[in-house]
């Protein structure tokens, strides 16, 4: 079997209804995985794009929402993709905008990894792919809770890799560059910001969700078996600039 194949494996993708999560779910299905499309919004559209896929309601308004998801079924691959962003000057940033983002982007990621590991550690096998950000490395502007949460995702990826690599669970993250999704609509609606971003991207274009999806398949596949604790930039060269 190809080391890039996900044949015979079950993958759960959070936030699979749209954007990067939808593209990852589709790519994992194309690589042979049975895909569980999890979302707070309906994932019917995504399920319709993947043979044999199934839908799961999962809303991280409760960051512990995944506590029982892995107890009664074998899931081999977890992709923590769901995430939100709030934009406001740091001087005016509210507690609600801090807590909402930290709950979905960081607390839910940790406790979903924990729930997955409780089931996967006894089997001695599993792969986790977290979706980090350029703001796991850089500061950004007017997005303090997002930056803090994504720095946290990079740190969590490393500690969980340290604890679980020898036990058969691989934990890695992808740091997407500027990708055209709902998450970046506000930036793309601002002609000056949009052009300034484009001018800095060595590849000369914004990324597509599909640019991230194939990297997620790779990190979930046997081909990546010796990769642990990596936060892989998929950014058209942005961080190299
Ligand atoms: P998106 O289109 O806004 O997708 C975000 C996904 O997260 C949606 O499926 C959304 O569901 C889901 N979500 C939000 N709150 C949730 C909750 N409480 N419970 C469950 N699911 C929830 O943006 P995207 O760009 O595809 O974002 C996917 C991931 O990539 C995020 O972690 C984001 O931070 C990260 N990222 C994106 C970029 C970029 O340039 N686009 C760059 C770096 C990192 P709804 O549709 O119901 O809101």
Residue from 13, 36, 38, 83 whose mutation best tests the ligand 1 pocket (most atoms within 8 A of CB): 83
Which parts of the chain sit beneath pLDDT 70? none
CATH number of the CATH domain containing 27: 3.40.50.720
Alpha-carbon gap, residue 73 to 77, rounded angstroms: 12
Answer yes or no: is 157 within a domain.
Answer: yes
Answer yes or no: is 3 within a domain.
Answer: no
Answer yes or no: is 241 within a domain.
Answer: no
Residue nearest to atom 34 of ligand 1 (CA): 83
Residue range 181-236, pLDDT digits in tens = 999 999 999 999 999 999 999 999 999 999 999 999 999 999 999 999 999 999 99
Total of domains in the chain: 1
Residue 124: the pLDDT is 98
Answer yes or no: is 2 within a domain.
Answer: no
CA distances, 28 to each of 88, 115, 131, 149 (Å): 35, 21, 15, 26
Residue 97: the pLDDT is 98
Tokens linked to 14:
């959070």
Answer yes or no: is 239 within a domain.
Answer: no
Answer yes or no: is 201 within a domain.
Answer: yes
Residue nearest to atom 8 of ligand 1 (CA): 15
Residue 223: the pLDDT is 98
Answer yes or no: is 5 within a domain.
Answer: no
Residue from 12, 13, 15 whose mutation best tests the ligand 1 pocket (most atoms within 8 A of CB): 15
- Domain that includes residue 25, residue range: 10-233
Asked if 9 and 76 touch (Cβ cutoff 8 Å), the reply is: yes
Answer yes or no: is the C-beta of 20 below 6 A from any ligand 1 atom: yes
Q: Output the pTM of the full model.
A: 0.98
């Amino acid at each position: 079997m190809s080391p890039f194949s996900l044949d015979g494996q079950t993958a759960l993708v959070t936030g699979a209804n749209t954007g990067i999560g939808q593209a990852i779910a589709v790519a994992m299905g194309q690589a042979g995985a049975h895909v569980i499309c999890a979302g707070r919004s309906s994932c019917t559209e995504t399920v319709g794009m993947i043979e044999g896929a199934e839908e799961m309601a999962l809303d991280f308004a409760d960051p512990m929402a995944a506590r029982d998801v892995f107890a009664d079924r074998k899931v081999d691959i977890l992709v923590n993709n769901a995430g939100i962003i709030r934009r406001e000057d740091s001087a005016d940033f509210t507690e609600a905008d801090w807590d909402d983002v930290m709950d979905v982007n960081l607390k839910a990621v940790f406790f979903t990894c924990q729930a997955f590991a409780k089931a996967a550690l006894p089997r001695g096998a599993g792969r986790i792919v977290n979706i980090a950000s350029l703001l796991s490395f850089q500061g950004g502007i007017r997005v303090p809770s997002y930056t803090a949460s994504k720095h946290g995702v990079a740190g969590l990826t490393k500690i969980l890799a340290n604890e679980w690599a020898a036990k058969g669970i691989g934990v890695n993250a992808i740091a997407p560059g500027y990708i055209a999704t709902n998450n970046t609509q506000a930036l793309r609606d601002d002609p000056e910001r949009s052009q300034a971003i484009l001018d800095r991207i060595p590849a000369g274009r914004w990324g597509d969700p599909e640019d991230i999806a194939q990297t997620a398949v790779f990190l979930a596949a046997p081909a990546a078996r010796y990769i642990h604790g990596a936060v892989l930039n998929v950014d058209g060269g942005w961080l190299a600039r």
